[in-house]
Copies of this chain bind each other. A is one copy, B any other.
Amino acid sequence: MGMNTDVGGGTATREAPASLSRKDFVSDQEVRWCPGCGDYAILAQVQRVMPTLGIPRENIVFISGIGCSSRFPYYMNTYGFHSIHGRAATLATGLKCARPELSVWVVTGDGDGLSIGGNHLIHALRRNVDLKILLFNNRIYGLTKGQYSPTSEFGKKTKSTPLGSIDYPINPVQVALAAEATFVARSFDRDLNHLAHIVERAAAHKGSAFVEIYQNCNIFNDHAFEHFTEKDVRDDRTVYLEHGKPLVFGRGGDKGIRLRGLHPEVVALGDGGSTEELLVHDERARDASLAYLLSHLDYPEYPIPLGVFRAIQRPTLETMMQTQVDQAVQKGGPRDLDALLRGRETWTVDA
């Protein structure tokens, strides 16, 4: 394992005990989100998925910034770091470079990850550091009590925009794709199985995994997503992306999406329409054009896509960094500090 065993706590390569359960991932800290907050559901799903990953608990680290969402690490009985606003990805990058064998997760919010921390997010993604980044998007600043965020709708009235926001919102999936992230997905706090599935997929991905999770903040931005997350409308207003499958949605799968040139169209199936001409999802396309095009789909014109937009393979930063070190060690022979101190040119002064 190269140069990093020296920093391990001794048994970092221990196998996961088969017996880990959800409870093992619940810390002793009282959860302090508002009653009804969507964060609870996300926490529960992550705690549910963790024991299934076969990773020893002590090898898992959750790192967050600041925000309601960023309290997440306190509630996970793993290693955790509640850092400062917007910078979680930078700590995670340093940790992963120093300790490639750890499973490093980043939890961030729409303000933390896209406002103050937008740049770090992009750079972590483009470097393909093997981090699992969960961005809880509630389209509001929760912790500071209700200012608009970079994902808030245009015109939104909040504490800091009493006359309505005049900023055009940012699309997190689009930003991640522009950074050439190797794994980009979206889920939400109301479909627990889907959420668990996406978290699992992210965990399984080797490389940066970015997951946007729509999360309801029932205190400062209640109902932000219910127009498509509520059970009765969900089928008609969302489309679940599945690799290699045509884009079908609607109650009973009665609608689909096809392309006209570069323009997506919703078509009715059932009455004559076949799935053959529909757009088929390809999460593995090297070029992110399809994923990008899908990221634009939005209600009411289109259903909102959920699932994995992109999942491709590329060497990760920490692996390549380790390889350069290992190769240098091999090439340079045993590390001779004395030779380094001596340098290329010396002279001697006699007594």
Residues of A within 8 A of B (CB): 115-119, 122-123, 126-128, 150, 163-164, 166-171, 174-175, 177-180, 259, 261-263, 285, 287-290, 292-293, 296, 314-315, 317, 320-321, 324, 327-328
Contact = CB atoms under 8 A, between A and B. Distances in A.
A290 B293 CA distance: 9
Given A178-B171, A289-B293, A118 B122 contact: yes
A177 B177 CA distance: 11
A181 to B, nearest CB: 10
Contacts of A261: 259
25 contacts: A115-B123, A117-B119, A122-B170, A122-B175, A123-B150, A126-B167, A128-B168, A163-B324, A163-B327, A166-B315, A166-B317, A167-B317, A168-B180, A170-B180, A171-B178, A171-B180, A174-B180, A175-B178, A175-B179, A177-B178, A178-B178, A259-B262, A287-B296, A289-B289, A292-B292
Contacts of A167: 126-127, 317
Contact of A168 (B164, B263, B314, B327): B314
Contacts of A164: 324
Contact of A262 (B123, B293, B317): B293
A2 to B, nearest CB: 15
A241 B283 CA distance: 29
Contacts of A263: 287
B328 A163 contact: yes
B262 A289 contact: yes
A67 to B, nearest CB: 17
Please give me the 9 A-B residue pairs with the lowest Cβ-Cβ distance, nearest first: A178-B178, A119-B119, A166-B320, A118-B119, A289-B293, A174-B178, A292-B292, A262-B289, A163-B324
A242 to B, nearest CB: 18
Given A163-B328, A287-B296, A292-B293, 7 more contacts: A123-B150, A166-B324, A170-B179, A170-B180, A175-B178, A262-B285, A289-B293
